[in-house]
């Protein structure tokens, strides 16, 4: 089977590589030439547009920054729907507004295109080693059909409900991750100001109830002042913006999420939007006058 793949950024490139390594033929496209060349070097065939890819591939995967990008690539000129035949399967693995997933899915259905929303969690490291967590919304029968493809990119593939449920689940994930990073930075700043070594504190508590995957991944980065992006501040701003919009639409209070969003916005204003989201440590350094790390 030939799979179309559109969107070859930090996450998309290793996902394409894992599909190729699993034996699938991939026709890839990205507006950034450097990204496309990287996919070609892995063995992907070059695509010219979403329409061309949709005309040749029975399954098309999109991995794009946000809702407007997905709408443009799927619904716009030379987009996926322009080249799609009835029976095409679209798997949007972008993290977007769940309501936009439903809107795109309805327009796809009018042309006989079936759609899943399947956002991921795990960042670049898990995209590279193929152990992403994939949260999927859409028809259960279609999900079952696509599981073998999704398992080439993720170690956890869970059906969450109807179309849009995947992105709703991802927003919950992003709320929890952001809150964890914020309180971790807050706690490590406190111990540093109190004269206790943050590394010792991390080693002491990571095996207890406070321990988490977030702590294990992000505490060492804060302690080393290493903010090379695995998941950028600006991308988390995007996700929390979608979370706030969704929460407001359904009447769910999210005051902690709103507070963390403002911390991220402060980092963005300070020119740190391309840093890893663990650089919330720098927000606390700014307001406390004390750095956690070196």
pLDDT tens, residue by residue, 77-105: 999 999 999 999 999 999 999 999 999 99
Per-residue burial over 33-61, b if 16 or more Cβ lie within 10 Å, else e, is eebbebbeebebbebebbbbbbeebebbb
- Section 59-78 average pLDDT: 97
Q: What is the pTM of this model?
A: 0.91
Contact indicator for 11, 34 with CB cutoff of 8 Å: no
| 47-55: average pLDDT | 97
8-50 per-position pLDDT tens digit? 999 999 999 999 999 999 999 999 999 999 999 999 999 999 9
CATH numeric code, 168-288 = 1.10.1040.10
List the domain boundaries for the chain.
2-163, 168-288
262 contacts: CB under 8 Å, gap ≥ 6 = none
> What is 2-163's CATH superfamily?
NAD(P)-binding Rossmann-like Domain (3.40.50.720)
User: Would you say 170 and 95 are in contact if contact means Cβ atoms under 8 Å apart?
Assistant: yes
pLDDT the model gives residue 294: 80
pLDDT at 122 over 90: no
Note the pLDDT tens digit of each residue in 139-152: 999 999 999 999 99
pLDDT of 269 > 90? The answer is: yes
Give the residue numbers annotated as catalytic, written as ranges: 170
Cα(54)–Cα(62) distance, rounded to whole angstroms?
Answer: 11
């Amino acid at each position: 089977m030939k799979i179309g793949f559109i969107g070859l950024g930090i996450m998309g490139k290793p996902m394409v590589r894992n599909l190729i390594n699993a034996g699938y033929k991939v026709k890839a496209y990205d507006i950034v030439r450097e990204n496309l060349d990287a996919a070609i070097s892995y063995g992907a065939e070059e695509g010219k547009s979403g329409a061309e890819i949709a005309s040749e591939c029975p399954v098309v995967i999109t991995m794009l920054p946000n809702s407007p990008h997905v709408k443009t690539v799927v619904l716009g000129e030379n987009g996926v729907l322009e080249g799609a035949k009835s029976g095409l399967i679209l798997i949007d693995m972008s993290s977007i507004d769940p309501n936009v997933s439903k809107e795109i899915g309805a327009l796809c259905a009018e042309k006989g295109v079936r759609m899943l929303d399947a956002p991921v969690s795990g960042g670049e490291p898990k995209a590279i080693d193929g152990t992403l967590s994939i949260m999927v919304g859409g028809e259960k029968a279609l999900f079952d059909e696509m599981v073998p493809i999704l398992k080439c990119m993720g170690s956890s593939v869970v059906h969450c409900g109807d179309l849009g449920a995947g992105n709703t689940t991802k927003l919950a994930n992003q709320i929890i991750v952001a809150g964890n990073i914020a309180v971790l930075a807050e706690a490590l700043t406190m111990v540093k100001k109190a004269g206790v070594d943050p590394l010792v504190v991390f080693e002491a508590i990571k095996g207890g109830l406070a321990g988490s995957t977030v702590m294990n991944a992000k505490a060492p980065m804060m302690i080393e002042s290493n903010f090379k992006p695995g998941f950028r501040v600006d991308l988390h701003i995007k996700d929390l913006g979608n979370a706030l919009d969704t929460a407001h639409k359904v009447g769910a209070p999210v005051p902690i999420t709103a507070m963390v969003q403002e911390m991220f916005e402060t980092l963005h204003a300070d020119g740190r939007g391309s840093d890893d989201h663990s650089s919330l440590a720098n927000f606390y350094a700014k307001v406390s006058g004390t750095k956690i790390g070196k």
